[in-house]
Structure 1
């Protein structure tokens, strides 16, 4: 059971962040699906690890025709990794057969366990893949039913040629791979940086703070997934509670689209409006649900503690059931902090709140159990007070109840339980 809980927690925690395309922020799976588009007569369907079009890797000469560069952004989709949107750049010529779209959200999703492990280690390998505008639009519009917007960038001919050459060079096998990061380096930030260079830093001038923290951004995008939203407070550390600049917030494709309109004066033209249901991406569930879960977890310890008819073995069993969720989560968070290279996971105040040592509480002698529990209560109360006055940034009050309530029950005087058979033998 603990191993199962730890596995679910590890995968869920990794997917909480790895789902960003904004990502993701790069919305990873979308790019892979884009690569899986049905082949057109002149092209074969590409595989995840291959270039989608060999001609797309040819860098155009400096004297070539000046193309048009377009930003394409996609709205939310049905799947978890589609909730934050997606972005791509398309290069268009007078001859549509030369048109290409560049997608920086491509990876291999066939092994999610390996994907989460590499994500935690900061080794997630993503790459830029290439397809045609027609195939990309077909995939997102006809297969995924996701809204599409296009913005034609106001670039001088020589800048447009340089941008097209950069994209083509970036798609070469020796250049196309990069290490993905859900906030700092994803499908949207790669596109953002290319546009920013082309427009002389107009986007990077957006240094004002964004109105939501990274944690709030993450929770809002997953608002439909109550379990994952509540789970996200565990692995996301102190860094997630800072306000990014608007430029940094362009790891979200919809923010990138809005800022291109605001700073470059290019209103988005909607190519397609989703016909399916709308999504909740603004109203995540309250942390009071996590608090209620902590209360439910504490019930076995409370009921067995207050019942004089139950043996000490039953009391220990009730306490074990109550400390199990917090202890397993604590062990999982400590494991993730040790193996991960990501600062938002490694520097985590939850590590002070949930300790794997709490799992030993039911196995201590009564005197040591009470002493340990009282020490933990003092520690947790101090941590909650530090959180209340702003010394600690993270919202630990609800998840802290997973540890505080069982320890509080174990620390308080209660009815003397009937001796168990083990106790009689010890006498």
Structure 2
């Protein structure tokens, strides 16, 4: 509750202060080169799923005019009509916001998230161009953009803007287009969901096989920490042939004392939960077979849950604009047919008659588990006990229908 109150206060203050901050960012001819400083801010991970991957913002300081503002491409509103539905469709709109640096730093300090600052080694002309672009981006007709987690987010937008202002070219120390990195989108998602097993499990369910293809270093920059890392080693080659480092200074401006361990989630993990379910289902199935009982209620719960999960996955594959959600081989385990065929299948199970659906499900799951290692998609191991639960229940029907004969 306390955290929610703070967020509400922050939004109110942002609304009051943003117009004043943006109005003051007009660059005057009298500003000297050393009166303006522009920096890239990189913020540590937080506890919420949308903050696990850190954050990037641009800080603009004008010492002669007393301006210290932060341009933030990560603003969104949970209260937007149909927010959850639009998010699932991949039609989430973010916007550029402007706030006072002190309030920005206070917010991150409160949530225990450190902030690093990289002072950009820009010329006066480049600084002026960047500020003008930020002003243009903040116009009401420009500030809202269609968010894309991998390709167009709060980290890639500042990077692209800074590259656009360079009077020459920005040269990175590494080959940014080489895909032989051995790193995939899923690898990076796993790295920054460490200690958050349920977030990782949910992401792994929704992200398909496209996330398991190697990516180049430039695509890695959807993670703010990679923008920070690659900027530290980048150089500006200007039109005069001079070369200078992009980053003039690197420092931590918000130090909270918190570590990644402080933001980890506790409780039972998906693997523990799925193993527990597997033990319960296996024990119940053995009992049912030995007593000649179908235990169709167990099938109702399991296949209903699997069908609902399958509807979500099928929706993402067929309709969502999110990248890398299709194809998703988990649809062989969780799919809408579980719901469509549930009444007929339960009718057969209750009468101990052979269900063709159960037979087909048994074959599909046997192949899925047998080919697990060579399917071109990385699955969370917690999926295996869940698939085995469905497999065991299908086997139960086959065994009981055979005994009935």
- Cα deviation for residue 115 of structure 1 reads 2.5
- 1:135: how far off? 2.6
Find 2:133's aligned residue among 166, 175, 184: 166
Hey, what does 2:226 align to over in structure 1?
A: 255
Select 2:72's aligned residue among 71, 90, 103: 103
Once the two structures are superposed, what CA deviation does each residue of 1:162-215 show, in whole Å capped at 9, x if it has no partner? 111111111111111101111111111111111222342435952244554222
In structure 2, which of residues 363, 366, 370 is the aligned counterpart of residue 378 of structure 1?
Answer: 363
Partner SS state of residue 160, structure 1: helix
For the residues of structure 2 that align with 1:34 and 1:190, how far apart are their CA atoms? 26
Q: Within 5 A, what are the aligned runs for 1:212-291?
A: 212-264=183-235, 265=245, 266=247, 268-279=250-261, 288-289=271-272
Match of 2:22 among 43, 47, 56: 56
* 1:36 and 2:5 are equivalent in the alignment: no
1:188 aligns with 2:173: no
CA distance in 2 between partners of 1:233 and 1:358 (Å): 21
CA contact (8 A) 2:25 2:67 kept: no
Who is 1:72 aligned against?
41
Answer yes or no: is 1:94 the counterpart of 2:63: yes
User: Structure 2 vs 1, CA of residues 224 and 169 (structure 1 numbering), >3 Å: closer, same or farther?
Assistant: same
TM-score (norm 2): 0.79
Contact 1:307/1:415, CA 8 A, preserved across alignment: no
What corresponds to 1:82 in structure 2?
Answer: 51
Compared with structure 1, are the counterparts of its residues 208 and 96 closer, same or farther at alpha carbon in structure 2 (3 Å cutoff)?
farther
Post-superposition shift, 1:120?
Answer: 1.7
1:124 aligns with 2:65: no
Report the Cα distance in structure 1 between the residues aligned to 2:119 and 2:8, rounded to whole angstroms: 22
| Residue in structure 2 matched with residue 146 of structure 1 by the alignment | 113
Pairing partner for 2:325 from 321, 329, 345: 345
1:356 shift after superposition = 2.6
Using a 3 Å threshold, how does the CA distance of structure 1 residues 368 and 159 change in structure 2: closer, same or farther? farther
Q: Is the 8 A contact 2:285 2:393 kept in 1?
A: yes
Q: Structure 1 residues 268 and 344 mapped into 2: Cα distance closer, same or farther (>3 Å)?
A: same
Distance of 1:238 and 1:289 partners within structure 2? 25
Distance, in Å, in 2 between the alignment partners of 1:59 and 1:95 is: 12
Within 1, Cα distance between the matches of 2:21 and 2:264?
Answer: 42
The equivalent residue for 1:307 is 290
Q: Which runs of 5+ in 2 are unaligned?
A: 236-244
Report which stretch shifted further, 244-253 or 94-103.
94-103
Give 1:206's aligned residue.
Answer: 176
TM-score w.r.t. the length of structure 1 is: 0.75
What is the root-mean-square deviation in Å for CA atoms of aligned residues?
3.6
**CA separation of 1:223 and 1:397: change in aligned 2, threshold 3 A:** closer
Superimposed CA distance per residue, residues 201-258 of structure 1 (whole angstroms, 9 cap, x where no aligned partner) = 4359522445542223223323333222222221111222223322111111111111
Q: Is the 8 A contact 1:300 1:322 kept in 2?
A: no
Would the alpha carbon gap of residues 290 and 350 (structure 1) be closer, same or farther in structure 2, given more than 3 Å must change?
A: farther
Partner residue, 1:334: 314
Q: How far apart, in 2, do the equivalents of 1:328 and 1:185 lie?
A: 30
More strand by share: 2
Distance 1:34 1:69 in 2: 28
Structure 2 CA distance for aligned equivalents of residues 240 and 381 of structure 1: 25
Alignment: residue pair count: 376
Question: Is the 1:149–1:271 Cα contact (8 Å) retained in structure 2?
Answer: yes
Asked if the contact 1:329/1:354 (under 8 Å) is kept, the reply is: yes
Once residues 361 and 401 of structure 2 are traced to their aligned partners in structure 1, the CA distance between those partners, rounded to angstroms, is 22
